[in-house]
Structure 1
Amino acid sequence: MASSSSDNIIAEIPSYITVYKDGRIDRPRQTPFVAASVEDPLNKQVSSKDIIISQNPLISARIYLPTFNNHNHLLPILVYFHGGGFFFESAFSQLYHNYFNSFVSQIHAIVVSVEYRLAPEHPLPVAYDDCWDALQWVASHSTNNIINSEPWLNNHADFNRIFIGGDSAGGNIVHNIAIRGGFEPLHGGVKILGAIYAQPYFCSSKPIGSEPVIGYEESLLYVVWDFVYPSAPGGIDNPLINPLAPEAPTLSGLGCSKILVCVASNDALRDRGVWYHEAVKESGWKGELELFEQQDEDHVYHIFHPESEHAKKLTKLMASFILE
């Protein structure tokens, strides 16, 4: 008797990802990959290209440069970590490529969108290390002591204005990179000036706000963490996902000078973003802290619809955060 397709499945988050016994992995929500373009015929204000940060492990990125730049004027750098629950999406996907073409055309900044390794092929904490290594690679350009240097960074980047940012799982990565930056130096003594958290993914064993009490452990936020980091010490209360866990480092040590937390009123992660903002405010952290909430929008609305009125509003806010 032939086995059913369900018998061949070893792990699954329905409609998001299916892992089969033969090693195949389906990611039905993954958007198509698209090529970078040094001279984009549809967007002449932005150039992009793909770069290798490290061969072992393999870490890459897509870098964006505004072509309307006055070449005598150095630009701030945004090192960005994409969303997708740590298990899908890409710096090379159509979704993020379209977003950053729009973003960079409105913001006078260089973006380095990091292609970190994904679960389940590479369970956490691999992604955090990849993103830290990518940030260190960017910072190392400040010393002119780098083998695989990137001319766009050498020629146009202002290393006194390095920012980190990310949405959803990428927002979680932002937190953990900022924490690491508080106790581990970057090359050349570079500092993280600011951090942007767009609808960041956090969780804990105790629901908060509008999160369901009944069935909470079956909620998507809970299930995703178990899938991407099945061996996490402390499970859902691991400090990487629960920044208020007993073993978590103090938020007062966040290694940046200013923070922007962005939430959306219809997003299931809305309360977690506010929770995080309040915790940072109460921690004694000494930087500038801002919370922005967009009404009548859902999770990562600005990524899905970068040309919408609300997305452009958020981009203007990010521009003020980065450029002022």
Structure 2
Amino acid sequence: MESKTPTTKEVKVEFTGLIRVFNDGSVERLFAPPHVPPTPEDPETGVASKDIKIPANTNLSARLYLPKLTNNNHHIPLLVYFHGGGFCVESAFSVLNHRYMNTLASQAQVIIVSVEYRLAPEHPLPTAYEDCWTALNWAVSLSDPWLATHADLNKLFIGGDSAGGNIVHNIAMRAGQESLDKVKILGAFLSHPYFLDDENNQLEMDYMYKIWDFVYPTAPGGFNNHMINPTGVGAPRLSALGCSRVLVVVAEKDELRDGAVRYTDALKKSGFQGVVELLEVQGEGHCFHMSNPDTDNAKLVFKRLVTFLTNS
């Protein structure tokens, strides 16, 4: 007997305010800040940006940011950045991320590769992890003229917010095990990272657990998988993290705050040979510095990120 084709379009899965999936397979992203084009010179910061395809994988692209350079800083740190959005929304090309990268490139005087990785559910995890590893390897190959001319690979950083912070951890772990074209990651910042662990209150965090199942339905161990629970039983040793410095940023009112603090404490106790720092901002929620970048607390985060990128 032939299966019947649905005659009406119905919602199959929905996460309020985030994403909606229909029974015909189509996807509506409810959180979708508008995309903005790159700029030859940002009017507020003077940062130049451009979009590129990553030749190693034609499905991947990125936005590059180059700050105005003085005569004595033609070789500057390189930051490879992974945006947030629960692995299923947001973009390197959104107005929020574009504004954020312009500010960071200008204030820290770093060249940035902001990665446009593929999203779930069309591309469930581990696709995003593989895309970001590919993008990092492409970045350190210095194939783009901006990177070849200006990037100092002795000052290589990776960074990300929320799901992007989770990606940072997993990329740094992989860099501790696999060769990155003979280049070492100097520093990694994880801002409001998306982690689940054995001490989370699953009832209060139900939304976050369901998102993980949605974006990685085949994850071995489910939410105990080491990619979302890096301190769980059987997870690789945190001491193997492949970088020299780590900065974790959390916010007091973020429901992911406690897991990120436990991750920081576990990293400090793991035998990791690098420097681990924690910045906690009081009175704020998840990724507040991106949506409200002009507040005093947001400026505090930017200042700390700039210090991390310039004094490491």
TM-score by length of 1: 0.90
Alignment of 1:161 with 2:155, yes or no, is: yes
- Read off the aligned partner of 2:186 and give its amino acid letter: L
Which one of the candidate residues 171, 190, 213 is aligned to 1:197?
190
Which one of the candidate residues 185, 199, 207 is aligned to 1:207?
199
> What does residue 28 of structure 2 align with?
26
Q: What is the CA-CA distance between 1:54 and the residue it aligns to?
A: 3.2
Q: Hey, what's the Cα distance between the residues in 1 that align with 2:71 and 2:293?
A: 25
Which residues of structure 2 form unaligned runs of 5+?
1-5
Which one of the candidate residues 176, 184, 187 is aligned to 1:182?
176
Q: Hey, what's the Cα distance between the residues in 2 that align with 1:10 and 1:306?
A: 35
- Read off the aligned partner of 1:186 and give its amino acid letter: L
Whether the 8 Å contact between 1:260 and 1:291 is mirrored in structure 2 is yes
Whether the 8 Å contact between 1:71 and 1:156 is mirrored in structure 2 is no
> What does residue 144 of structure 1 align with?
none
1:86-105 equivalent positions in 2, closer than 5 A = 86-105=87-106
Which residues of structure 1 form unaligned runs of 5+?
142-148
Query: Given the superposition, is the C-alpha separation of residues 10 and 158 from structure 1 closer, same or farther in structure 2, using an over 3 Å criterion?
Result: same
1:249-268 equivalent positions in 2, closer than 5 A = 249-268=236-255
Q: What is the CA-CA distance between 1:44 and the residue it aligns to?
A: 4.9
Q: Hey, what's the Cα distance between the residues in 2 that align with 1:283 and 1:56?
A: 35
Percent sequence identity over aligned pairs:
52
1:1-324 equivalent positions in 2, closer than 5 A = 8-40=10-42, 42-54=43-55, 56-70=57-71, 73-141=74-142, 149-187=143-181, 189-204=182-197, 206-208=198-200, 211=201, 215-216=203-204, 219-324=206-311
**Residues 52-90 of structure 1, C-alpha deviations (whole Å, 9 max, x = no match):** 113635111101110144365310011000000000000
Q: How many residues align?
A: 306
Whether the 8 Å contact between 2:47 and 2:67 is mirrored in structure 1 is yes
Q: Hey, what's the Cα distance between the residues in 2 that align with 1:249 and 1:55?
A: 28
- Root-mean-square deviation over aligned CA pairs: 1.7
Q: Hey, what's the Cα distance between the residues in 2 that align with 1:23 and 1:122?
A: 12
SS in 2 for 1:54: coil
Q: Hey, what's the Cα distance between the residues in 1 that align with 2:225 and 2:72?
A: 45
**Residues 276-321 of structure 1, C-alpha deviations (whole Å, 9 max, x = no match):** 0001011110101101100011100111122222111111111111
Q: Hey, what's the Cα distance between the residues in 2 that align with 1:269 and 1:323?
A: 27
Query: Given the superposition, is the C-alpha separation of residues 55 and 184 from structure 1 closer, same or farther in structure 2, using an over 3 Å criterion?
Result: closer
